[in-house]
Every structure is written in C-alpha cells, then in structure tokens.
Structure 1
Amino acid sequence: MTYPTAFARSTLAIALATGLWAGPASAQTLPAPTLAKAQAGYLRMMLGDAEVTALSDGTVVLDSSILTGAKPEHIKDLLNQAHQTGPLHTSFNAYLVKTGDKLVLVDTGAGSFFGPTLNKLQAGMKAAGYTPDQVTDILITHLHADHVGGLVNGEAIQFPNAVVHADKAELDYWLDTAKAEAAPKEAQGFFKMAQAALTPYVKAGKVKPFEGATEMVPGIRTQPTHGHTPGHSFYVLESKGQKLVFWGDLLHFEEVQFPEPTITVAFDVDQKAAKAQRLAAFADAAKQGYLVAPSHVTFPGIGHLRKQGAGYVWLPVRYVNDAH
C-alpha cells in the first residue's frame, strides 16, 4: 500500500497562526495582546457511567487544495455555502475517558511536531483536573504525527504509566524502515515523526499491538477502519445503553465532506478504502443515532449526524462550562 499521487504532489499545508485576539474594545484604546500561554480547551460530559473529556490540542490552517475527488470550483462552492473561504482553521482534538479504574486517552495531539499553534493538550488536561501520569492506556487511531506527537517531548516519554495500543497493521507499516525509504519523498517525514513518537515506548515495552475487533478496557473496543492509513481504527465506547465512537481521521473538512462524503483527502493512504469507510460510518451513525467524535471537526468535535439528501448534517453537542 503506497501513498496516492495526490499526496506526493501536496505538502502538509500548515500555516502558523499569529495568536492575536482583537477583543471588543477599539484597537485605538486597547491594542490586541499576544497571548502569553496556550488556551486550554476542554469539554466534559457523561456517557452512561463513563466520563468523557474532549481536549483541544489547538488548530492549524489547512488549505482545501488537499481535497480530492471533486473539481476545485465545486469544493469552493461547498465552502461558500458554509460561509467559508480560503484556508480553514482546523481543530485537532483528542479525548480522555474515565471508566472504572482506567483513564484512557484517545490520541495525543501533535506535541511539538507541527509548530506553536498546537501542543495544547496537556494544558487542557491540567485545566480539566488530570495529569499525564494518571493516564493508564493510550488508544491510537493511527500513527500520523498529529495523533502521536504528544507521546513525547524530544525523546522523553510524556505518559510514564500508560500502555500505548495501536493496530498491528499500523505499527508494522509506519515503523518499517524499508517502507519509509520506499515512500515518496513528501511522505517520508510522516514515517520519521511516527517512529520518533513511538520508539521510546517500544524500547520501554509499553506498546501493545492488537488485531481486529478487540476489547481494550471494559466498555471500550476497537473497530477496524483501515483506509486512511493501513491500520486506522475507531474506538467504540458503550455504557448504560449509550454509545460514542471515536472516528479519528474519517474526515478533515466538515463543510465539504459531511454534505458530500465521497470527496477524499490527499492524506488518505488508500483513498478508495477511506471513502468506503466514511460512507459506511456516516450511514450507520445517522441510522443508529449514537454520538461520534472525529479528530478534525470544530472543537469539541462530538455530535450526531442526520441524513439530508445524499449527504449529512452535523449536529454538535452543546458546550457546557462545568467550572463552579
């Protein structure tokens, strides 16, 4: 399995944000300050007996030119219908689940790999009342750097008491030196970053592969969804008859791919398989009515889908500030 030509022609397309906030006052009387620290973002909610905390790792700007499977004019029209133009600020979300005696983190954010507008996950975790040493298990949807970069700071392990779980096919692909060397030059950085993030945990004996549908901890199981990457996986949380599915990189542009899920993205290793997984997942979520949590839908990234024509409408959960 190799990267599509579209990926080989593209770059990561990340433009670093300035971090300025204009505020309600006139710029003549109150200049917009540069934020001195990361904005910690989190949302806490209950799913049955399980506590779910959405964590924002930050945002980066992605250009819609990485979308494939439709003419640029059509993609521009879809963005215009959503009142969006040009590159979009894209959320990078991770999720913390407290269930029984387990504290489970689904993906870890980008860490320091993609610049200063990311690497905010630990600040959000602290604001939500948790520390990295409390995490018992880390469930990796796939090994792209924006999902595993937060595992490390340089070569230092950031979650010292956690076991890292990932699909065996995913680990075999990204940690294979021969595959890295054979990949297009534009993709080789993805291999290097995945290896940098995972190697300290591999050396420490803290990486546990799984194959197929497997229960990770009581109430959380895997759902293989290979396509975006060779071992891409959903994680399904169920408690007291309620269900939430962590979708990873099932989609990247909500304004485009919800109304037209056949549109793909250059980051997909296997675009045909990724599209099939997206169509099946959208249809099931809309029919069954359970909650879903994609990684790159506007924070907090948890919501429902409703079928509308040939596409879908995204219905996000309402934000609740639980500070008191």
Structure 2
Amino acid sequence: MLWVDYAKGICIVAVVMMYATHHVQQILRSEGWMEYVVRFAQPFRMPDFFMIGGLFVARVIDRPWRRYIDSKVLYFIYFYTIWVSFRFSYTDLREAVNEGTVLTEYLRLFLAPPSGPLWFIYILALFFIAVRLVRGWRPGLVLALSAGLHVADLHTGVTLFDKFSQYFIFFYGGHLLARHVFSLAAWSQHHLAFAPPLLAAWFVLNGWAVFTGVAALPGVSLLLGFGGAIAVMLAAVLCSRVTWLDWLRWLGRHSIVIYLGFVIPLGVLRIFIHRSAGIVDPGTVALATTIGSIAGAVLLYQAVRRTPLRFLFARPAWTHLSPPAPARERA
C-alpha cells in the first residue's frame, strides 16, 4: 500500500520539523514563521504515526507469544537500548562517573525515557504488549477506556504513563478501525477529485482550532487527532500519484532510520544555527535545519549500512528469539 509509506513520510518530516524548529528557537531565543507550521501539525503529528502503527496489528496479533514479542516488542527495545546507550555516554556518563551512580542512572533510562524523541520507540513496544493483553476484552470497552484516558489529559510527571494515556487511543483505534481505514483509502484512490476539497476543509478547520485554542479543549484533540490522521491518509493517496515525490515514500519506508538518526546532524548543525543569528530569520533557519537533519540521517544510514556500524539501524540476527519470519509474513 503505497499511501502508507507516503503517510509515514509526511509524519516523519513533521516530527523532525518540530524538533529542529524548537532547537533553533532555543539557540536563537526567537520564534520564526516555522513555529506556526509546527503548531498546525501538533494535533495530528504523533496520532497519525500511532494510528498507522495500529493498522497492521491484526496481521500479527495471533502469532505465538514468542514470535510476537520478538518482532513487535524486542524490535523496538533493541533500538531503544542502542540509542539510549549512546545518548547516555555523551550526555550523562561523566557526571554519573563522578557521582558513582553509572549503573543506577543508566538503568533509570529504562523506566523513564530521557527528553527527546526516544520515548516514541519505547512506547511502541508497550502499545504492542497492551493490544495483545486486551485482545479478549470487548473492543468498545477498550476504546472507551483509552479515549477516557486521552480526554483526562493526565500530567503525572511519569513520562511513559502520560504518553501511554495520551496516545494509546490512536494506536488501538488504528487496530480496531483498520478495515474501515483501508476501505476509505481504496475509495479515495478511485475518487481523487473529492480529496482536494476535503483536505481544504480540514485545513481550515484544523488551523482554526489550533490558532484559536479550541484544539486544547477536552475531547477536541481526540477528534482532531483522528481527523488529521485521515487527512494525512488522503494527502498520502494524492502524493502516491506524483512520481517526483518518491523521495517522500522512501523516507516513510525508512522512517525509523530518520527518527533515530536525525538527532546527530541536528547537533552538528548548531554551528550553522549560531552563525545565522541576525543574518537569516529563525523560520528559514529552522526549515534549513529540518532539511539538513533529514538529509544527514539519510547520509548516515547510507554510510554505515554496509559496515560493522549497521547495527545502528539494522537489528542483528543474534538478537532474535526465533528465526525471522519469511518476507510475506512480516508486518
């Protein structure tokens, strides 16, 4: 399904854009026009990612626990472990050594993810476990409970609990409504003329809700999240018909590569950001930083994929509990 890769590509660009824009604003201590783009995408940026993740759960949920855990839990735990270890080594290791708390501080990262994008990798593993555990429950009950957690907008200070409460509804919703989403995508592929006016109406409604503050009201964010996810799907269907946008499909297909790798070029670009102060407006700097971070992640992946460092983006065979499934069974 080409539109799935395009949708993931749209989302990963939006995620990198958010981190790059905030990074630039923190350094330059000034907001630019990109802040409005980031705010516009906030209601659907992560919900769409999670809904797409849930769309294909039905294909794997009946696997034996061993294979399910191997492919849908340990997969994410592996990448989290690798990248959180690197982060710990260059941010917190020296202070932990001085205080004699290296092991304690390192293990704490597996209970409370650090600030930054790595929480997304961790929470996906929890979502796959949760969906499997509630498989025998009434879907309507699970949907109602997860929607209630989202609407409650909990801020306990426990990152994993708060993120789980905020986003599980979209992952489970993707799983529960997968058949309808695929049907809508198939319909839109044969009725492309309806997509532009629907997207225009959504664009106006989403923008109005965000910039008037309505998007923050209880329940509204839930509607905007699912509505935005459907809008991204429609946009992805349109993008799949444009050959020169194939690069967006590649980014979506390799979204975990971009998600894990963009922080390295983003850090390197600090020099560029500092030198741009007072010369280029912060919005344009943020856009350039977004493009540079994505391009840097792609170059990093291409540079290591055939070297011993490929473990950064490819899970080694020895980390599997069982032999990898045949290609036709992977999901």
TM-score (norm: length of structure 1): 0.24
Q: Which has the higher contact order (CA 8 A, sep 6+)?
A: 2
Higher Rg: 2
